[in-house]
Structure 1
Amino acid sequence: MVRYRLLVLTSVPIIITLFVLIGITFYWTVTYTWQNALMNVRADLAVAHHSMELLQKEQRMQLQSMVDSYDFQYRLRFDESSLSHWVRSESHQYNLDFIVLHPASALGEFSKQERRLLQEGKEQTFFQVLNQRELTALNPDLPARAQVPLLKENKIEQKGLVSRSLIPIFNNEGHLQWILDGGILLNNSTVLVDRIRDLVFASDTLPTGSIGTVTLFMNDVRISTNVPLDSKNLAGRAVGTRVSDEVSREVLKFGKVWVDRAYVYDSWYVSAYEPLRDINGEVIGMLYTGYLQWPLIKTFLTNIIELGIGIILVLVISGIVVYQGSRDLFLPIEKIYQVAKFVQMGFDRRVGKLDVYPDHELQILGNQFDTMLDQLEQRNQAIKQAALELEEKVEQRTHSLHHKTEELEQHIKLLNQARSKLVVSEKLAALGELTAGIAHEINNPLGVILGNVELIQFELGDNTVQVQEELDAIHAQIDRIRNITRSLLQYSRQGGVQNEVTWHHLNQIVEESLTLVRSGTKKLSITFVVELNAKCSVEVNRHQLLQVLVNLQMNGIHAMDDKGRLIIRTEDWIDEQGQSIGAIVRVIDHGCGIAKENLERIFDPFFTTRRSGTGLGLSVSQSLIEDIGGEITVESEVGQGTTFSVYLRQKASTSNDLDLLMMS
């Protein structure tokens, strides 16, 4: 309807614009939200990094306060022998996992970088990975505390990651006298990561349902973390698990800061990683901060759904307003359209008065449309009157022409009959002369052949038994040639072939064809499988059917390259009501088959796929079978074989019968 077309034309641009705006808004929102999430987690990582620096600074200040204490200074001046033991015993008081006092003579145990800084009198704090022996030297309790079972690997990580501070102590002459060594073990330090998490993720800074996490890595193993083993129930800690290969490659191998979404143990987190380096700048671990991604996505999707619902409501309300507002415009247009439709169907309708004011454009259009319809009606009446007069004149002229046409058709018919008789007479006269000469020429050598065969039989005497079957076949074929020549002579004398269509049992003709084919294929590797199940007799020309069967069998042998199994099967032809129609002969070979594109052409004259073939065998066979009302069908599959089926009726329908049927 026009109403809805106009509504679509006015609404579609608005809808497209709104959806484009929705898409842009969605894109900007996703991009802004994700970038904001990455910026937040990057800031969280910076806070965690600063917290670690404060931790190390606090650790160094604790050691410095010990050096500046009265007890340390007193023992340094008056009781150096008890100083080392006293330092070790004070580690808990200063909230450190180990404090060791090394003499200056032990300077060689430290790395080159550490020795240089100590000799320059500089304090140093750094991260370091220590093995069991090195941990035991600092505190005998540290190796047991450092052990981290690796989940799903059935192994235990024995090394420990420590935050270590070294403070050089010089004597009055300015020579290095002592080295104060203290720090904390980061393995399994849940209090430390929870303290950093509380600093990084303050309350109400994350989406509802999300959790903030902080992790310390030694290489790629989580040695201290508050990432839960079950993010849904917030149960356990994922200590002893490994980081993903992607993060490990970027942070540990290339030493880069990695900020993106990451799969942390069992859930996706918005994550940030930075490398932890030792005093030589080598990456030995990572610091991680992150929070669950799903609550962020859930909040974002909720906002998008709310926005979408609001936009849909706006579209619905706008559509209703537009529809109601344009209804007064649509109704007159629809009335004009309906009138045009009725006029097209043959009814007499007019627009008349519309529900608008008289000077409205649509009312003027309606009046003009009515005027055009009135003029059209007048012209139609004039055309009908002229048509009636013309029809009367045409009828008079047609009646006159009809008589002339009948006379002309009668003359043409007589002329065609005379011409046809003349052509047939000339044709039969020429054909009679040719066939009589051909028949006599064939009979002369045939008599010689027959005489020689009889002479062979006479000369062989009793030995003719060995070749009796072949001799009988020769006699049968001589009789067949004589029948053909006799038919040619009859045709030349009487003007038509006397087809001897008589009742025959099909199985006898099939056996005779097999005798002929076997005699010509004795040297070939052909196995004949004969299944003669037909009980019905059929009305056929015996010689013609024999020719068709021999042709089909030889074609099957050629298709199998002169070796294989050829099946000849006869059966009764039964219709759907169970009544006997006639008999069927099937010739089945297991040769190369016939291509699909050639199946429709095999009965065409001169079509053949064999180099030595003429292309006439199947064409002639089809003609012979169709002349008696039968049918030849073919089924073939490339590479499997071909089945030719000859359908023969009990009562043959000869060409004379067909002519009589057409004349009637």
Structure 2
Amino acid sequence: MVRYRLLVLTSVPIVITLFALIGLTFYWTVTYTWQNALMNVRADLAVAHHSMELLQKEQRMELHSMASSYDFQYRLRFDESTLSSWVRTENKQYKLDFIVLHPASALGEFSKHERHLLMEGKEQTFFQVLDSRELSALNPDLPARAQVPLLKEHKIERKGLVSRSLIPIFNEEGQLQWILDGGILLNNSTSLVDRIRDLVFAANTLPDGSIGTVTIFMNDIRISTNVPLDSKNRAGRAIGTRVSDEVSNEVLKFGKTWVDRAYVYDSWYVSAYEPLRDNKGDVIGMLYAGYLQWPLIKTFLTNIIELGVGIVLVLLISGILVYRGSRDLFLPIEKIYHVAKSVQMGLDRRVGKLDVYPDHELQILGNQFDTMLDQLEQRNQAIKQAALELEEKVEQRTHSLHQKTEELEKHIKLLNQARSKLVVSEKLAALGELTAGIAHEINNPLGVILGNVELIQFELGDNTVQVQEELDAIHAQIDRIRNITRSLLQYSRQGGVQNEVTWHHLNQIVEESLTLVRSGTKKMDVEFDVDLQAKCSVEVNRHQLLQVLVNLQMNGIHAMDDQGRLSIKTQDWIDDSNQVLGAIVKIVDHGCGIPKENLERIFDPFFTTRRSGTGLGLSVSQSLIEDIGGEIEVDSEVGKGTTFTVYLRQKIPANHDLELMVMS
């Protein structure tokens, strides 16, 4: 029904638009959400990095606070022998894991880079990996505190990652006298990473259900972290586990910052890693900040589902509105349609009043339709009355046949004129029978030949490759013979269902012939110049006229060696008194032209100058045009081209019908 079609036509663009918007929204949301998540975790890593810098700054400030204290200064001036031992006992007071005072004579124990900076009076704060012996030299308690059991590896990591500060102390003469060495051990420092986590991931900054985590790595080992061993239950700490190989290769090996999703122990996290370097610039560990990915995805999927439900509701509501609107609109149209079908079946029905307001377009259309039906009924009655009057006139005029003698004499003249054509027609008919018989007789052995060739191909199987060229030549010649016999049969065939003569507009048939010719000449270099000016309709056999036009156009193309410009023009056929007789078609080629000695023979059957032609095309075309009272004229000049002009009458003359009856 029309309303269902309207529902589809109106809903499809809406559905396509909505799905396109869903796709774009999904793409933009995913891209924006993920990029925003990466930006956030990059910012979180920056905050964690800044927190580590603040930690080292506080570390230096604690050492400065000790160096400037009264007790330190007093012992430095009056009791240097107890200064070193006193410093070692003050680490707890200054919130450091170790504080050591080295004399200037111990400068050789430091690296070249460290010695150079100390001699210049520059303070140093850096990360450093120390073994158990080095840790014990700083504080005997550190080796035990630094031990990290490696989960799933049954080993213990004994090295320690420390944040260390060196402050040079010079005497009054400007000579290096002491080196104040202090710092903190990062192994197992859970309070430190929890403090950084609280700074990085403030309350209500993460999706519901997510957790923020911070980790300090020594090489690829988590030595201090708040990443849980069980992400679902948030239990334990994943200290002693290793980072993924992908992150390790990117950060530890190449020293790059990693910002992406990463598998952290037992779950996926939106993660950011940056390398930790020692005072030589070598990567000795990593700093990590990240949060669980699944709550972010869950929130995103929830939003998408809500959006999808909203879109489905919009589609349902719009579909219901369109359906109701289309039903109210097309019920009157359906009523008009049913009335038209009833009238077509011979019933006397009218549209009447529709369920719309009086000035509605459909009501006006229904009224006009009823008026048209009333007028049609009146005309039918008038035709019946005229038929009765006509019968009376026929009875009256049967007694006046003597008045028709003059018309009979004219008909006798036409019969005399048709006699000569009858002779030709009889010859052509005999020739047609002969050609039809020849064509059928040729087709019978030709079918046998084709069947045997196909049988040979089947029997030879793969061996046909050796004689494929000969077999292709046989098939080509068989097709050539078939084309010739097909032309002979077409020439001999008369009458049939295709001979119905009706009214047609000439331009439409010309355009259809051009479509056929163009499809068959795609690979040829032919340009078509079309000028269709005819306005008059003509009485023709559409199929036969289409055959004639295609034949004339193809002849023109062949005359130009399949390249050049072919002109097709139509115009009204007007006599000297400006009376419209019909329409004219002109087909002009710019080929080789036709010699004068051949112009009189081109319409003879089987006359052709082409090696592959049958000589029947123009003969059949002339016969078809003359059957409907038309004419074909040809004008040609050698070397310049040929013009075929087809004259088609608006109405086939009555005397022409009589002539055809006489000839038949």
Q: When the two structures are superposed, what TM-score results if normalisation uses the length of structure 1?
A: 0.55
The 1:344/1:81 distance shift into structure 2, 3 A limit, reads: farther
Post-superposition offset of 1:96: 1.0
Counterpart AA for 2:253 = K
Distance 1:607 1:93 in 2: 105
Distance 2:9 2:457 in 1: 66
Distance 1:94 1:335 in 2: 99
Distance 2:312 2:457 in 1: 74
The 1:127/1:344 distance shift into structure 2, 3 A limit, reads: farther
Task: For residues 523-570 of structure 1, give each alpha carbon's deviation from its aligned partner in whole angstroms, at most 9, with x where no partner exists.
Answer: xxxxxxxxxxxxxxxxxxxxxxxxxxxxxxxxxxxxxxxxxxxxxxxx
What does residue 232 of structure 1 align with? 232
Distance 1:607 1:74 in 2: 118
The 1:380/1:150 distance shift into structure 2, 3 A limit, reads: farther
Post-superposition offset of 1:210: 0.8
Tell me, yes or no, if structure 1 residue 38 matches structure 2 residue 38: yes
Gap regions ≥5 residues in structure 2: 388-451, 462-664
Tell me, yes or no, if structure 1 residue 309 matches structure 2 residue 270: no
What does residue 76 of structure 1 align with? 76
Post-superposition offset of 1:345: 7.5
The 1:126/1:347 distance shift into structure 2, 3 A limit, reads: farther
Post-superposition offset of 1:321: 3.2
The 1:105/1:351 distance shift into structure 2, 3 A limit, reads: same
What does residue 249 of structure 2 align with? 249
What does residue 156 of structure 1 align with? 156
Look up the SS of the partner of 2:56 in the other structure: helix
Counterpart AA for 1:189 = S
User: What pairs with 1:93-172 in structure 2 (closer than 5 Å)?
Assistant: 93-172=93-172
Distance 1:291 1:347 in 2: 81
Post-superposition offset of 1:286: 0.7
Look up the SS of the partner of 1:269 in the other structure: strand
User: What pairs with 1:177-256 in structure 2 (closer than 5 Å)?
Assistant: 177-256=177-256
Whether the 8 Å CA contact 1:3–1:334 is kept in 2: the answer is no
The 1:74/1:346 distance shift into structure 2, 3 A limit, reads: farther
Post-superposition offset of 1:179: 0.8
Q: Which has the higher contact order (CA 8 A, sep 6+)?
A: 2
Distance 1:346 1:232 in 2: 81
What does residue 269 of structure 1 align with? 269
Look up the SS of the partner of 1:184 in the other structure: strand
Post-superposition offset of 1:380: 11
Post-superposition offset of 1:363: 3.1
Look up the SS of the partner of 2:96 in the other structure: coil
Counterpart AA for 2:5 = R
Tell me, yes or no, if structure 1 residue 337 matches structure 2 residue 329: no
The 1:8/1:107 distance shift into structure 2, 3 A limit, reads: same
Task: For residues 225-245 of structure 1, give each alpha carbon's deviation from its aligned partner in whole angstroms, at most 9, with x where no partner exists.
Answer: 000011110011111111112
Distance 2:266 2:317 in 1: 46
Task: For residues 130-179 of structure 1, give each alpha carbon's deviation from its aligned partner in whole angstroms, at most 9, with x where no partner exists.
Answer: 11221121122212211112222222222111000001111121111111
Q: Percent identity?
A: 86
The 1:134/1:606 distance shift into structure 2, 3 A limit, reads: closer
Distance 1:346 1:23 in 2: 56
What does residue 360 of structure 2 align with? 360
The 1:3/1:102 distance shift into structure 2, 3 A limit, reads: same
The 1:250/1:607 distance shift into structure 2, 3 A limit, reads: closer
The 1:121/1:606 distance shift into structure 2, 3 A limit, reads: closer
Counterpart AA for 1:243 = V
Whether the 8 Å CA contact 1:104–1:179 is kept in 2: the answer is yes
Counterpart AA for 2:225 = T
Tell me, yes or no, if structure 1 residue 53 matches structure 2 residue 53: yes
Counterpart AA for 1:236 = G
The 1:189/1:4 distance shift into structure 2, 3 A limit, reads: same
Task: For residues 462-487 of structure 1, give each alpha carbon's deviation from its aligned partner in whole angstroms, at most 9, with x where no partner exists.
Answer: xxxxxxxxxxxxxxxxxxxxxxxxxx
Gap regions ≥5 residues in structure 1: 387-600, 611-664
The 1:226/1:365 distance shift into structure 2, 3 A limit, reads: same
Task: For residues 278-327 of structure 1, give each alpha carbon's deviation from its aligned partner in whole angstroms, at most 9, with x where no partner exists.
Answer: 11111111111111111112122222222332333333333333333443
What does residue 393 of structure 1 align with? none
Post-superposition offset of 1:359: 4.6
Distance 1:199 1:256 in 2: 24
* Structure 1 stretches of 4+ moved >6 Å: 343-348, 371-383, 604-610
User: What pairs with 1:332-411 in structure 2 (closer than 5 Å)?
Assistant: 332-340=332-340, 350-367=350-367, 369=369
Counterpart AA for 1:293 = Q
Pick the structure with greater CA Rg.
1
Counterpart AA for 1:40 = N
Counterpart AA for 2:26 = F
Look up the SS of the partner of 1:152 in the other structure: coil
Counterpart AA for 2:280 = N
Post-superposition offset of 1:194: 0.4
Structure 1 residues 143-152 or 347-356, which shifts more? Answer: 347-356
Task: For residues 230-288 of structure 1, give each alpha carbon's deviation from its aligned partner in whole angstroms, at most 9, with x where no partner exists.
Answer: 11100111111111122112211221221111111111111111111111111111111
Post-superposition offset of 1:182: 0.8
Whether the 8 Å CA contact 1:2–1:333 is kept in 2: the answer is no
What does residue 12 of structure 1 align with? 12
Distance 1:609 1:8 in 2: 57
Counterpart AA for 2:270 = V
Tell me, yes or no, if structure 1 residue 297 matches structure 2 residue 305: no
The 1:326/1:93 distance shift into structure 2, 3 A limit, reads: same
Task: For residues 572-619 of structure 1, give each alpha carbon's deviation from its aligned partner in whole angstroms, at most 9, with x where no partner exists.
Answer: xxxxxxxxxxxxxxxxxxxxxxxxxxxxx9xx8999679xxxxxxxxx
The 1:226/1:345 distance shift into structure 2, 3 A limit, reads: farther
What does residue 62 of structure 2 align with? 62
Post-superposition offset of 1:100: 1.2
User: What pairs with 1:412-451 in structure 2 (closer than 5 Å)?
Assistant: none
Distance 2:290 2:457 in 1: 85
Post-superposition offset of 1:56: 0.5
What does residue 522 of structure 1 align with? none
User: What pairs with 1:509-528 in structure 2 (closer than 5 Å)?
Assistant: none
Task: For residues 75-130 of structure 1, give each alpha carbon's deviation from its aligned partner in whole angstroms, at most 9, with x where no partner exists.
Answer: 22222222221111111111111111111111111111111110011111100111
The 1:141/1:342 distance shift into structure 2, 3 A limit, reads: farther
Counterpart AA for 2:264 = V
Post-superposition offset of 1:212: 0.6
Look up the SS of the partner of 2:93 in the other structure: coil
Question: Cα RMSD over matched residues?
Answer: 3.2
Number of aligned positions between the proteins: 398
Distance 1:228 1:245 in 2: 20
Distance 1:377 1:132 in 2: 118
What does residue 279 of structure 1 align with? 279
Distance 1:125 1:53 in 2: 10
Task: For residues 641-661 of structure 1, give each alpha carbon's deviation from its aligned partner in whole angstroms, at most 9, with x where no partner exists.
Answer: xxxxxxxxxxxxxxxxxxxxx
Whether the 8 Å CA contact 1:333–1:362 is kept in 2: the answer is yes
